[in-house]
A and B are shown apart, each in its own frame.
Chain A
Amino acid sequence: MQLAEVVGTVVASVKSEGLEGVRFLIVQPLDRYRKPQGRPVVAADAVAMAGPGELVYVVGSREAALALPVPFVPVDHAIVGIVDAVERAR
Protein backbone atom coordinates (compact mmCIF):
# COMPACT_ATOMS: atom_id res chain seq x y z
CA MET A 1 0.00 0.00 0.00
CA GLN A 2 1.19 3.52 -0.79
CA LEU A 3 0.42 7.06 0.27
CA ALA A 4 -1.34 9.29 -2.23
CA GLU A 5 -3.00 12.68 -2.39
CA VAL A 6 -6.42 13.08 -3.95
CA VAL A 7 -6.06 15.68 -6.69
CA GLY A 8 -9.30 15.35 -8.65
CA THR A 9 -12.52 13.56 -9.38
CA VAL A 10 -13.68 11.49 -12.32
CA VAL A 11 -17.27 11.29 -13.44
CA ALA A 12 -18.21 8.40 -15.70
CA SER A 13 -21.83 7.55 -16.35
CA VAL A 14 -21.14 4.53 -18.53
CA LYS A 15 -19.13 1.98 -16.59
CA SER A 16 -18.39 -1.71 -16.54
CA GLU A 17 -20.88 -3.93 -14.75
CA GLY A 18 -20.35 -3.90 -10.97
CA LEU A 19 -18.93 -0.39 -10.90
CA GLU A 20 -22.28 1.37 -10.52
CA GLY A 21 -22.14 3.76 -7.58
CA VAL A 22 -18.38 3.54 -7.21
CA ARG A 23 -16.65 6.94 -7.00
CA PHE A 24 -13.46 7.46 -8.94
CA LEU A 25 -10.80 9.94 -7.86
CA ILE A 26 -7.53 11.01 -9.39
CA VAL A 27 -4.73 10.37 -6.93
CA GLN A 28 -1.08 11.37 -7.06
CA PRO A 29 1.14 8.68 -5.49
CA LEU A 30 3.57 10.12 -2.93
CA ASP A 31 7.00 9.12 -1.74
CA ARG A 32 7.91 8.62 1.93
CA TYR A 33 8.31 12.38 2.40
CA ARG A 34 4.94 13.05 0.74
CA LYS A 35 6.52 14.39 -2.43
CA PRO A 36 4.80 13.38 -5.71
CA GLN A 37 6.19 10.15 -7.15
CA GLY A 38 5.26 9.03 -10.65
CA ARG A 39 2.13 9.90 -12.56
CA PRO A 40 -1.36 10.35 -11.15
CA VAL A 41 -3.72 7.38 -11.42
CA VAL A 42 -7.47 6.92 -11.18
CA ALA A 43 -8.46 5.03 -8.04
CA ALA A 44 -11.83 3.72 -6.89
CA ASP A 45 -12.85 5.24 -3.56
CA ALA A 46 -13.58 2.26 -1.29
CA VAL A 47 -14.17 4.41 1.80
CA ALA A 48 -16.66 6.61 -0.15
CA MET A 49 -15.54 9.62 1.87
CA ALA A 50 -12.26 10.81 0.37
CA GLY A 51 -12.12 14.16 -1.38
CA PRO A 52 -9.65 16.44 -3.15
CA GLY A 53 -6.68 17.54 -1.04
CA GLU A 54 -6.86 14.56 1.31
CA LEU A 55 -3.98 12.25 2.14
CA VAL A 56 -5.04 8.64 1.61
CA TYR A 57 -3.52 5.22 1.24
CA VAL A 58 -4.09 3.20 -1.86
CA VAL A 59 -3.93 -0.51 -2.52
CA GLY A 60 -3.02 -1.68 -6.00
CA SER A 61 -3.51 -4.69 -8.29
CA ARG A 62 -6.23 -7.29 -7.67
CA GLU A 63 -6.61 -6.33 -4.00
CA ALA A 64 -8.12 -3.04 -5.17
CA ALA A 65 -11.21 -4.83 -6.46
CA LEU A 66 -11.63 -6.69 -3.16
CA ALA A 67 -12.14 -3.36 -1.38
CA LEU A 68 -15.30 -2.61 -3.35
CA PRO A 69 -18.90 -3.78 -2.74
CA VAL A 70 -18.76 -6.10 -5.77
CA PRO A 71 -15.37 -7.81 -5.31
CA PHE A 72 -14.64 -8.93 -8.88
CA VAL A 73 -14.63 -5.72 -10.86
CA PRO A 74 -12.09 -4.26 -13.26
CA VAL A 75 -10.20 -1.74 -11.12
CA ASP A 76 -6.48 -1.63 -10.35
CA HIS A 77 -6.23 0.98 -7.60
CA ALA A 78 -8.51 1.62 -4.64
CA ILE A 79 -8.44 4.10 -1.79
CA VAL A 80 -8.78 2.01 1.38
CA GLY A 81 -8.16 4.64 4.07
CA ILE A 82 -7.92 8.34 4.82
CA VAL A 83 -4.69 9.20 6.63
CA ASP A 84 -4.94 11.31 9.80
CA ALA A 85 -1.21 11.34 10.49
CA VAL A 86 2.06 9.74 9.45
CA GLU A 87 4.51 9.53 12.31
CA ARG A 88 8.01 8.93 11.06
CA ALA A 89 10.61 8.12 13.65
CA ARG A 90 13.44 8.75 11.19
Chain B
Amino acid sequence: MKLGRVAGTVVSTISHPIYDGRRLLMCDLLEASGEDTGDYLICVDTVGAGAGEVVLIVDEGNGARQVVASPEAPIRAVIVGIVDELVVDGSTLDVTGR
Protein backbone atom coordinates (compact mmCIF):
# COMPACT_ATOMS: atom_id res chain seq x y z
CA MET B 1 0.00 0.00 0.00
CA LYS B 2 1.01 3.60 -0.49
CA LEU B 3 0.65 6.84 1.39
CA GLY B 4 -0.83 9.84 -0.39
CA ARG B 5 -2.22 13.27 0.29
CA VAL B 6 -5.56 14.17 -1.28
CA ALA B 7 -4.84 17.06 -3.65
CA GLY B 8 -8.14 17.41 -5.48
CA THR B 9 -10.97 15.79 -7.34
CA VAL B 10 -11.42 14.51 -10.87
CA VAL B 11 -14.81 15.15 -12.46
CA SER B 12 -15.89 12.84 -15.27
CA THR B 13 -19.33 12.45 -16.84
CA ILE B 14 -18.47 9.95 -19.55
CA SER B 15 -16.78 6.98 -17.95
CA HIS B 16 -16.91 3.22 -17.60
CA PRO B 17 -20.18 2.35 -15.76
CA ILE B 18 -18.30 0.99 -12.73
CA TYR B 19 -17.23 4.58 -11.94
CA ASP B 20 -20.84 5.84 -11.78
CA GLY B 21 -21.52 7.38 -8.37
CA ARG B 22 -17.93 6.95 -7.21
CA ARG B 23 -15.68 9.80 -6.16
CA LEU B 24 -12.35 10.08 -7.92
CA LEU B 25 -9.64 11.85 -5.96
CA MET B 26 -6.27 12.99 -7.17
CA CYS B 27 -3.68 11.94 -4.58
CA ASP B 28 -0.08 13.10 -4.45
CA LEU B 29 2.07 10.17 -3.35
CA LEU B 30 4.27 10.52 -0.27
CA GLU B 31 7.52 8.98 0.90
CA ALA B 32 7.53 7.23 4.27
CA SER B 33 9.11 10.47 5.54
CA GLY B 34 6.00 12.40 4.49
CA GLU B 35 7.84 14.11 1.63
CA ASP B 36 6.13 14.49 -1.72
CA THR B 37 7.44 11.98 -4.31
CA GLY B 38 6.28 14.08 -7.26
CA ASP B 39 4.06 11.22 -8.45
CA TYR B 40 0.30 11.00 -8.16
CA LEU B 41 -2.58 8.56 -8.62
CA ILE B 42 -6.22 8.99 -9.45
CA CYS B 43 -7.99 6.89 -6.80
CA VAL B 44 -11.53 5.74 -6.14
CA ASP B 45 -12.54 6.96 -2.69
CA THR B 46 -14.25 4.35 -0.50
CA VAL B 47 -13.85 6.03 2.90
CA GLY B 48 -14.94 9.65 2.42
CA ALA B 49 -11.52 11.31 2.37
CA GLY B 50 -11.22 15.07 2.02
CA ALA B 51 -8.76 17.52 0.53
CA GLY B 52 -5.43 17.72 2.35
CA GLU B 53 -5.86 14.46 4.25
CA VAL B 54 -3.19 11.78 4.28
CA VAL B 55 -4.67 8.51 3.05
CA LEU B 56 -3.81 4.87 2.58
CA ILE B 57 -3.96 3.73 -1.04
CA VAL B 58 -4.11 0.24 -2.52
CA ASP B 59 -2.60 0.33 -6.02
CA GLU B 60 -3.22 -3.25 -7.02
CA GLY B 61 -6.12 -4.69 -8.99
CA ASN B 62 -7.19 -7.72 -6.94
CA GLY B 63 -7.38 -5.75 -3.70
CA ALA B 64 -9.15 -2.88 -5.42
CA ARG B 65 -11.79 -5.17 -6.95
CA GLN B 66 -12.39 -6.73 -3.56
CA VAL B 67 -12.92 -3.30 -1.98
CA VAL B 68 -15.47 -2.24 -4.59
CA ALA B 69 -17.04 -5.73 -4.44
CA SER B 70 -16.96 -6.23 -8.19
CA PRO B 71 -14.86 -9.08 -9.64
CA GLU B 72 -14.57 -7.42 -13.05
CA ALA B 73 -14.09 -3.75 -12.14
CA PRO B 74 -11.40 -1.97 -14.18
CA ILE B 75 -10.21 -0.14 -11.08
CA ARG B 76 -6.67 -0.30 -9.73
CA ALA B 77 -6.16 2.51 -7.21
CA VAL B 78 -8.48 2.74 -4.22
CA ILE B 79 -8.32 4.83 -1.03
CA VAL B 80 -8.90 2.42 1.85
CA GLY B 81 -8.03 4.49 4.91
CA ILE B 82 -7.51 7.94 6.37
CA VAL B 83 -4.27 8.23 8.32
CA ASP B 84 -4.55 9.62 11.85
CA GLU B 85 -0.93 9.30 12.88
CA LEU B 86 2.32 8.50 11.17
CA VAL B 87 5.44 7.77 13.21
CA VAL B 88 8.68 7.15 11.32
CA ASP B 89 11.98 6.55 13.14
CA GLY B 90 10.44 7.74 16.39
CA SER B 91 9.21 11.09 15.09
CA THR B 92 5.55 11.88 14.49
CA LEU B 93 4.77 13.37 11.09
CA ASP B 94 2.16 16.01 10.43
CA VAL B 95 -0.83 14.34 8.78
CA THR B 96 -3.34 17.10 9.42
CA GLY B 97 -5.19 18.52 6.44
CA ARG B 98 -3.38 21.49 4.97
Contact = CB atoms under 8 A, between A and B. Distances in A.
Interface in B1-36: 6-16, 19, 24, 26, 28
Contacts, number: 96
A49 interface: yes
A83 B42 CA distance: 11
Contact of B10 (A63, A65, A78, A83): A83
Interface string B61-91: 1001000000011111100000000000000
Interface residues of B, number: 31
Contact of B74 (A3, A59, A84): A59
B51 interface: yes
Contacts of B28: 32
B77 to A, nearest CB: 6
